[in-house]
Structure 1
């Protein structure tokens, strides 16, 4: 009898401990990293509008300068989910980081710009010159070398044109000082340069490849396994943020101008343009959607193929290997919570 009581007590104790650990895991903030770029605006909106909180998930949001740094934080266990570009996901997937793309974040964002008075009309006119880009092997570098230079313009990177790596924030100054002939950059850097009146667009990638996907929401296997309900809540908040961006552009633009610390733009003739105008200008080249379409899968496969041909990927991959749209479908199909329940 005593033995039976001891076993029962031990069993109850272990059950209580398991429940306690599970509850504790759910109480811990879900750590979400995001690349500091306007394309990832839904992460900012969901946080600042309280959508994560209203969906009942405790999150900790942290911004990073680029995708490779985010992936390092993911692989070291510092993050659970991320808003990140597609290329870092499949590059690290090929190395064994078995993460999954769960939803889309945006489309568009990148362009080649040059000085307003430059004689360059097309990217192919840059042959023999210099173009600013970010770190070799990064997602934007894959798009620059694989599509912009090779496929769209017939230029061989490093042979026909010199790609000069630098932070995006330094590119406009490099153009002004004639250190480079053009720059491949993204929003809001493009719009700031255009509104200054010192630059013009040579190639808008979103016009060449309409609504091409770039940033996505991804989750780590341990997160998907241990905190599935919280993942769905994050995706619901993400969906609401995109809906807000599309239906309330004026308020969203004000939030983004503040969040990205956009400074007033000084034009060549001395005028000052309000920060919110930078976001309005950027919307000409960028938009937001969470739904992964067949055309998105096709474009992602193109990126994979570019990476492989450029020597940035050590194996052949299929986009469907690491994209799981079932999470997004479950999140969107789930019944919405009443407002009162969201606040509790």
Structure 2
């Protein structure tokens, strides 16, 4: 009887230990991963879903998120080791490569697959035509950043030279563009959500076109890390990608209202109906990637956009700066219904 009582005393704790072990990604450890996101936007809804629904935790990852406003600042944080993973435009990895980095930055999980900005005007324009931008004052984005390059790509597609056919303003810091437009700078502006929907509600602007629809599929925002980190933390990168794919599926399988509710803690000053409107817009134009893999066709379109903006020194293949093995494994392990 003493043996039975002794066994009963340690069997329950053993089961608790095994349960905890299973909740730590299978190796008994919780791994810390620091993400730096280029901005806070509904455009990145799947990332916030992965955090709020516990998909990272299920993989044994303790993820810390910080906003490192602007692509240049985000990449500086990654290269300096201040963050482990960057959520930023794939073009930044190409810039690092062009500078001859010994430790290149590798893209491993795509989050968004189109541009996320919308063309906003001060007045409603129900019959808008791109030719109406001729001679206008256009408040653009940072030179060399994906929003600006995708914007210029779209303008050229419609026969408008962004340097000579309109007055292009590019000296406003990324974080202050919305405020500058609200204060009266420019007739037109490129805005991400939820700012575009907020301006519509407040009567400060009207969405008249989508740069995402116009510029086509792009590896627009991607999770990336240094090659050295990837080599040392192969399993962590895989677990991270697994969680991202789970979130991508969740967003596709739920309504904009449900997604808005889940991500609302990251937008405490934004009403739920605004968040829902923003998510709906991005879903309708296919901005949220359904797979973390980066397609060669989308990568080549990115190179075309960069080339058109004069920011590409030489074309680099997707195989050079993207590793799809993590995405492919994540999709295979969790196929869509």
Query: What TM-score comes out, normalization by structure 1 length?
Result: 0.77
RMSD value, Cα: 2.7
**Correspondence 1:125 to 2:116:** no
Structure 1 stretch displaced more, 85-94 or 229-238: 85-94
Q: What residue number does 1:135 align with?
A: 142
The residue aligned with 1:231 is: 237
| Matched pairs, number | 297
The yes-or-no answer on 1:243 pairing with 2:249 is yes
1:154 equivalent to 2:150? Answer no
> CA offsets, 1:313-344, max 9 Å, x none?
332323332122111112333489xxxxxxxx
Which residue matches 1:311? 310
- SS of the residue 2:83 aligns to: coil
SS in 1 for 2:224: strand
Cα separation, partners in 2 of 1:89 and 1:261, compared to 1, 3 Å: farther
Whether 1:58 and 2:51 are equivalent positions in the alignment is: no
Deviations 1:200-257 (A, max 9, x none): 2232123335665421122221121111111111111111112222233333212323
Instruction: Indicate conservation of the 8 Å contact 1:114/1:201, yes or no.
Output: yes
**What is the match of residue 267 of structure 1?**
none
Distance 2:186 2:137 in 1: 5
Distance 1:79 1:300 in 2: 25
Within 5 A, what are the aligned runs for 1:1-344?
29-36=32-39, 37-95=41-99, 96=101, 98-108=104-114, 109-117=116-124, 121-145=128-152, 147-151=153-157, 153-165=158-170, 166-167=172-173, 170-209=176-215, 212-249=218-255, 250-263=257-270, 275-287=271-283, 288-291=288-291, 296-334=295-333
Q: Distance in 1 between the 2:233 and 2:175 partners?
A: 37
Distance 1:61 1:172, change over 3 A: closer
Q: 2-side partners of 1:91 and 1:123: how far apart?
A: 30
Task: Quote the Cα distance in structure 2 between the aligned partners of 1:111 and 1:331.
Answer: 31
8 A contact 2:93–2:105 mirrored in 1: yes
Aligned to 2:262, the other structure's residue is in SS state helix
Which residue of the partner structure matches residue 23 of structure 2? none
Please name the residue that 1:23 is paired with.
none
Distance in 1, matches of 2:305 and 2:334, equals 40
Q: Any stretches of 5+ residues in structure 2 without a counterpart?
A: 1-28
Structure 1 gaps, min length 5: 1-25, 264-274, 337-344
